[in-house]
């Protein structure tokens, strides 16, 4: 090959590089065989305690759920995994139809008219939704409720420094509705971070009365049993799709969901797949409405997003196809029923009380007689992950989640451990 190129060494091709910088030391260790590297990563992973190793009540936005065997078997097939963005639709119909079906499934689940093909995650979806609202309304004030995941609010605050949005955080849903006048949008989360079910109709009414957009970050599985955002008048529904057949993976990758009313479709960030026909009249799919996107519009694009989370959108599509309406409602219902049994049991421990202001779904706030972080650590010694210590005004609050994987034996174990720790 060198001879064909007309050089004796590769170095002759690299003379353009400043000599002082050429061929540096990388300070990297020597390479390993596959056997050796496999052993090394197993050793590293063994220093972690997987969520499945014992009763697990930690949620707070990421949930340990049952992943049907067929989900990774199909969605992680290498024809999906090792392709890229479908720039050549004739040889990418697998990706394109799967993503289009993801869009359709999400739109149906959320009762929204249009969904995009994915964003990075739930946190960046909050920020993209706020920027969409600012574009649509020409206003810069974004009001967000403390119901929204604290890390998602932190990401929104970071993003706001770019387009110079004025982010106002309010303590609860009542304050959110009152803050509508002059706002680009009102943003809430359902279920709320503390587990409460939120009234999305009230959100939409207050927002629309003030000419603002109603934005709801929802758990897609909760939408199987709760009135979905589209049926409540929400303009932009967002969320994190991790629960839809995607491993926890220490928080990522997952899939950021965004769905809107039909008249907002040209304001959507990211890729959108549309149906069309080929030259022979056969149905096919392409990336469409691309004049919104960075590779065409550059500095006038609706977003800078390019690479997204396609293969996890495909995971979500497979998961929803396998479970269907009955299976999805069962996942949500089983989680909720178990959580209510757990709440009743834990609230019966002396000094403990459930402090949610209204009805909750599958996650609830348990007030302990002592600091939640210390109690969580003490319970950990029993091999039980008790939940997420909240960092608000009350350091004694613990956020406790149940899923369809939580058993009555898990609840008994947590109740017994808490009783002993608190005794």
Partner 1 sequence: MRRSPESGARTAEPALEPLLVELARAGRGGGHVPDADASAVIPARFRRTVPLALPELVEQQVVRHFTHLAQLNYSVDTGFYPLGSCTMKYNPKVNDRAAALAGFADLHPLQPEADTQGALRLIWELERLLAGITGMAEISLQPAAGAHAEFTSLLMFKAFHAGRGEGARRRRIIVPNSAHGTNSSSAALCGYVVTTVPSDPRGNVDLAALRAALGDDVAGMMLTNPNTLGLFEEHLEAVMAAVHGCGGLMYGDGANMNALLGIARPGDLGFDVLHLNLHKTFSTPHGAGGPGAGPVCATPALAPYLPVPRVIRSEEGRFRLDSQRPQSVGRVRAGHGNFGVLVRAYTYIRQLGEEGLRATGEDAVLAANYLLSRLRPTFDVAFDRPCMHELVLTLAAQKSAGASALDVAKALIDEGFHPPTVYFPLSVPEAMMIEPTETEPKETLDAFADALLRIAALVRTDPAAVRAAPLSAPLARLDEVRAARNPALTWERASS
338-367 residues in contact with partner 1 (CB under 8 A) are: 339-340, 359, 361
Contact predicate 231/204, CB 8 Å: no
User: Least Å distance between CB 211 and partner 1?
Assistant: 24
Q: Whole-number minimum distance, CB 352 to partner 1, in Å?
A: 19
For residue 397, what are its two tokens?
Answer: 């609050």
φ and ψ at 36, to 5 degrees? -70, -40
The pair of three-digit structure tokens given for residue 26, joined into one six-digit string: 């990388």
Taking the alpha carbons of 145, 150, 156, 158 in that order, is the dihedral positive or negative? positive
Q: Which of 60, 420, 114 is nearest to 242 (CA)?
A: 60
The least CB distance from residue 181 to partner 1, in Å, is 25
Q: Which of 279, 393, 409, 423 binds partner 1 (CB under 8 A)?
A: 279
Which of 55, 120, 258, 421 binds partner 1 (CB under 8 A)? It is 120
Shortest separation between residue 152's beta carbon and partner 1, angstroms: 6
Footprint on residues 185-244 left by partner 1 (CB under 8 A): 197, 199, 223-228, 230-231, 240
- Residue 97 as a binder of partner 1 (CB under 8 A): the answer is yes
Smallest distance from partner 1 to CB 105, Å: 6
Query: How crowded is residue 266: how many other Cβ atoms within 10 Å of its Cβ?
Result: 11
CB within 8 Å of 345: residues ≥ 6 apart: 411, 412, 415
Output the smallest distance, CB 374 to partner 1, in A: 11
Q: Do 397 and 389 form a contact (C-beta atoms < 8 A)?
A: yes
58 vs 143 by CB, closer to partner 1 = 58
Is-cis flag, bond preceding 79, omega within 30? Answer: no
Task: Please tell me the count of residues contacting partner 1 according to CB under 8 A.
Answer: 196
**Chain residues 380-419 in contact with partner 1, contact rule CB under 8 A:** 380, 385, 388, 404
Site membership for partner 1, residue 372 (CB under 8 A): no
Do you know the residue count of the chain?
Answer: 423
Choices 132-140, 172-180, 318-326, 347-355 (CB under 8 A): range interacting with partner 1: 318-326
Which of 150, 182 has the CB closer to partner 1?
Answer: 150
- Residue 145 interacts with partner 1 (CB under 8 A)? no
Q: Which of 34, 138, 350, 409 binds partner 1 (CB under 8 A)?
A: 34
Applying the rule CB under 8 A, the residues between 167 and 196 that interact with partner 1 are none
- Provide, rounded to whole angstroms, the least separation between the CB of residue 151 and partner 1: 4
- The DSSP element (H or E) to which 187 belongs, if any, is strand 185-190
Shortest distance, position 350 Cβ to partner 1, whole Å: 25
Cis peptide before 239 (omega within 30 of 0): no
User: Is residue 281 part of the contact set for partner 1 (CB under 8 A)?
Assistant: yes
Told to check if 329 binds partner 1 by CB under 8 A, we report yes
Residue closer to partner 1 by CB (options 105, 179) is 105
3 state DSSP class of 122: helix
Q: Tell me the HSE value of 165 on the side-chain side, using a 13 A CA sphere.
A: 30
Residue of the chain from 331, 352, 398, 417 that contacts partner 1 (CB under 8 A): 331
Quick one: 44 or 409, whose CB is closer to partner 1? 44
Point out which span in 148-156, 175-183, 204-212, 363-371 binds partner 1 (CB under 8 A).
148-156
C-beta closer to partner 1: residue 11 or 181: 11
- In the block, tokens 């067929």 appear at 70
Q: Which of 22, 171, 351, 357 binds partner 1 (CB under 8 A)?
A: 22
> Which of 144, 211, 133 is closest to 172 using CA atoms?
144
Integer Rg of the chain from CA: 24
Burial of 183 (0-12, 13-18, 19+ CB in 10 A): buried
Binding mask 76-95 for partner 1 (x = CB under 8 A): xxxxxxxxxxxxxxxxxxxx
Token output for 372:
């939640």
Give, as ranges, the residues between 283 and 312 that touch partner 1 (CB under 8 A).
283-286, 288-291, 293-301, 303-312
282-308 b/e (C-beta count within 10 Å ≥ 16 → b): eebbbbebeebbbeeeeeebbbebeeb
Binding mask 1-20 for partner 1 (x = CB under 8 A): xx-xxxx--x--xx-xxx-x
**Structure tokens given for 172:** 């609860």
């Amino acid at each position: 090959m060198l001879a064909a190129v007309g050089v004796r060494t590769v170095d002759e091709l690299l003379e353009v590089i400043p000599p002082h910088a050429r061929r540096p030391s990388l300070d990297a260790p020597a390479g390993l065989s596959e056997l050796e590297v496999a052993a090394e990563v197993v050793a590293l992973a063994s220093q972690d305690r997987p969520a499945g190793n014992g009763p697990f009540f930690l949620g707070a936005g990421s949930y340990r759920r049952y992943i049907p065997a067929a989900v990774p078997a199909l969605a992680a097939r290498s024809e999906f995994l090792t392709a890229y963005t479908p720039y050549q639709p004739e040889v990418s119909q697998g990706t394109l139809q799967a993503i289009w079906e993801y869009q359709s499934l999400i739109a149906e689940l959320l009762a929204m008219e249009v969904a995009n093909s994915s964003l990075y995650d739930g946190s960046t979806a909050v920020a993209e939704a706020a920027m969409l609202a600012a574009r649509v309304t020409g206003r810069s004030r974004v009001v967000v409720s403390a119901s929204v995941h604290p890390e998602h609010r932190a990401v929104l605050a970071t993003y706001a420094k770019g387009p110079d949005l004025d982010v106002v955080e309010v303590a609860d849903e009542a304050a959110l509705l009152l803050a509508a006048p002059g706002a680009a949008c009102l943003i809430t989360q359902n279920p709320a971070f503390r587990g409460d079910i939120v009234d999305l109709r009230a959100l939409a009414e207050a927002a629309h009365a003030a000419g603002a957009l109603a934005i709801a970050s929802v758990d897609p599985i909760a939408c199987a049993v709760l009135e979905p955002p589209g049926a409540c008048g929400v303009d932009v529904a967002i969320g994190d799709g991790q629960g839809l057949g995607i491993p926890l993976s220490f928080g990522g990758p997952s899939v950021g969901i965004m769905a809107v009313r039909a008249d907002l479709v040209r304001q959507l960030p990211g890729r959108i797949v549309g149906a069309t026909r080929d030259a022979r009249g056969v149905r096919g799919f392409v990336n469409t409405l691309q004049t919104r996107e960075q590779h065409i519009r550059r500095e006038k694009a609706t977003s800078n997003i390019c690479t997204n989370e396609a293969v996890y959108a495909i995971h979500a599509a497979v998961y929803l196809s396998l479970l269907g309406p009955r299976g999805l409602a069962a996942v949500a219902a089983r989680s909720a029923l178990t959580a209510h049994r757990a709440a009743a049991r834990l609230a019966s421990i002396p000094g403990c009380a459930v402090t949610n202001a209204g009805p909750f779904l599958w996650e609830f706030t348990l007030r302990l007689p002592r600091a939640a972080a210390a109690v969580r650590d003490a319970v950990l010694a029993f091999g039980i992950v008790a939940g997420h210590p909240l960092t608000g005004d009350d350091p004694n609050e613990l956020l406790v989640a149940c899923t369809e994987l939580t058993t009555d034996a898990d609840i008994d174990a947590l109740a017994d451990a808490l009783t002993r720790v608190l005794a």
